[in-house]
Each structure stands twice: as C-alpha cells, then as structure tokens.
Structure 1
Amino acid sequence: MTKKVAVILSGCGVYDGAEIHESVITLLRLDQRGAQVQCFAPNIAQMHVIDHLTGEEMPESRNVLVESARIARGEVKDIREAKVEDFDALIVPGGFGAAKNLSNFAVEGANCTVQPDVLALAEAFAGACKPVGLICISPALAAKIYGPGVVCTIGTDADTSAAVVKMGGTHEECDVHDIVEDTQRKLVTTPAYMLAKSISEAAGGIYKLVDRVLELTHEGDK
C-alpha cells in the first residue's frame, strides 16, 4: 500500500530557508521507497534574505512558499491546505529556515514560538500518533510540538541541545550516520548537517530516518 508523506519546506537555501541537500535527499529517498509525497510551506515572508556567496544579508524580501517551489519544482502547496487525515507521515528537513521561518528559534532560542500554521499541522500529526521525522535543526522544535519529555537529537552541539532541554525535551547525542527514535511518540530525528561534513554523510542519517518513518507507517497494517 502506497504511503502518503507530507514534507514541510522552509524556503530555499541553508542560511535563510530549507537546506537544499537535506530536502532533496529526503525527497529522493521517499521516491525510492515508493512513497507519494506532497510538499508544503507557509505562505509568509522570510525572516530575511542571505547572499549565499558572501553570507551577508540582502536588502530584499522573499516569500517562503515561492522559494520552496524552487526545490519542489513547483509542486508545493500552502501549508494551510494540508490535512493530517490525508497523510501517513510528516517530515521536516532542516536549514536555517526551520529556525527562522518555521519558527523564531534562531532569535529566541528556548523562548521560541513555532509559526502557527506549521505548529497546527505538526500537532495534528502528533495528536494522531502518526510518524514524524525532524532533520538537522528541526528537532529543536520538538518540545513545542510534543510537550515535555519528548526524546530527540540535534547531534552534539552543546548550546542547541541545552535549549532543547530548557524547553522540556530530552536530548540524546547522536552520530551523523544514525537516528534517535522516541518510540512512544513515533518521532524520528537525525543530525544531518548539524554534524555532516559532506552530502554523503548527511544522506546516511536521512536515509535511515526516512526508512524508519515509513516502517512506522506500516505498524498495524494487516
């Protein structure tokens, strides 16, 4: 039975949107495993725009949904159209967009809030006990979605893991090639470019995450 997976993108580009390698690896693995995928993104302005050549902020404005369409080859919908009952699982790639556009974690840290439409969808998956995969910096939002006690990883970064703990999460250090699973909540996380030194290193953990998320969708299948 074909599984349907929603993927939330946060723009296009590691410094101000979705991490492109992580996003493409996720979409590739889902396709390789025969999943049916629909990308979503919030229809909002980015926090800011970064010149990826120089790392400097640019004096312009871009839309998260429009920029996400670059990665999704135009096949992306406003996240407000997403309905949890239409999907078996949810995956959120990383990149600073997760901490700048899907939330304000990059600015507020442990005091952050999640963008309302993103939070509503993620909470719906959590409430339905459907598998969720959070990649790279995205697990920093886990405690805001699941509440205190949620188990996740962002790798080994001390400051970020401390923020996760301050928000009520339980952080487990994790190698770039591996995943951490909260079995009670069906949440799977992996560090990816929080630790990866190459695209193939990032791919190792992301492939494991996608595979495990899809395995969890089959629990209870007859």
Structure 2
Amino acid sequence: MNHQRQMIGDEQETSFIIHHSSFIILTLLIAVFAIFFSVLSIQQHRAFLTNGLDLGNVDQALWNTAQGRFLQFTLMAPVESRLALHVEPILLFFVPFYWLNLGRPELLLIVQATVVALGAWPLYQIALIHLAPSLSPTPNSPLSISNYQLLIIPAAYLLLPTLQSAVLFDFHAVTMAPTFLLFAFLALERKQNGRFLLFAVLAMACKEDMPLTVAM
C-alpha cells in the first residue's frame, strides 16, 4: 500500500513539474519572439526601412490627437484624417503615451510585436483543453511527452512566416487582431462571457472590417 502511495505521489510530482516546465518554455518562446522582433523592427525603422504608410501616418495622427487635432496627418494631402483610410479605435489606447511625450514609432513597433507574441498563450490553452484526455499518463504515452508535444502548436504559430512578415511590415493595428481573437475563442471555450466580450471588442477595434470576422 505504501509503495502504491509512493508511486502515485511520484507521478503527481512529475505531472506538476512537467506542467509548470511547459509553461516556462512557452513563456520563454513568447519573450524571445517579442524581444527579437521588437529589436529587428526598430532596427529597420532606424535604418530608414519603414514607410509613411502606415507607421508614419499612424505616429503623426496619434501625436496630433494628443495636441487636440483628432487623428489628423499631412502625408496624403488633401486627405487629412486617418479615418479616411481606416477606422481603428484601438489606436486611441496609445494617445496617453503621446500626452506624456512617450509616444514614438518605436513604442508602436514594440507593442505590436509583444501583442502578436502573446497570441501563443491562448493557443496553447486551447490545445490543452481539447487534448487534455491525451495527457493522462499511460505506460505507452508518458505525460511528459504529451505535454511537450502541445508546445509544437504555439511554436508553429510563432514560426509562421506570414505572421513574422506582418510584424516586420511597419505598424498595422489589424496585425494584433489574431491575438485578441484567440483570447476571445479561449474565453468562449471556458464559457467566460465577460472576457469573450472584452477580447471580441478589442479585435473589432483593430480595423473597420473586423466586426464581420467576429460575427462569423
């Protein structure tokens, strides 16, 4: 009996270690992506490899908003408003930083890379929900192998070339939308209606056509 209890205790301890180590690895993957692509996108900007569309006019529109000229820019005269191009309410979250004289293109690029990287977190949680039965330890399928295999899914997301290209192509608010959609879907899976509504609204705030995506 004592031997069986010891074996159960050892299995539970192993499960705890593996469970937490997988989260640590996932956190490291997210951090590495966010830091690497923040630095790379900033280097591109400082090497004059970014453009007025859209990083330049977003930065100017936010600065003008902080000065009392709501989303105005001068890049595409006679067009004077960012709203003539896209409706992106989420940009208003950056205005306080411009009020405090902390707003600049580098901030936009860092936030974009970080938000995109965070999309790996809900993706892992969704995989955990749907593949939970396969995580039960059996003689032929150790818990450690199954848990670490789940990391392939968020890793594949972070390694997606189109995602990386979007992060490195100036700044576009819609690039952050997939992360909010993934968090919304996770909330839906967990039946957390409040969180679902929050992240659905954030996704819809990224671009004028995102409400249609959320509705679908």
Q: TM-score, normalised by structure 2?
A: 0.26
Q: Which has the larger radius of gyration?
A: 2
Structure ranking higher in strand proportion: 1
Structure possessing the higher relative contact order (Cα contacts under 8 Å, 6 or more residues apart): 2
TM-score, length-normalised on structure 1?
0.25
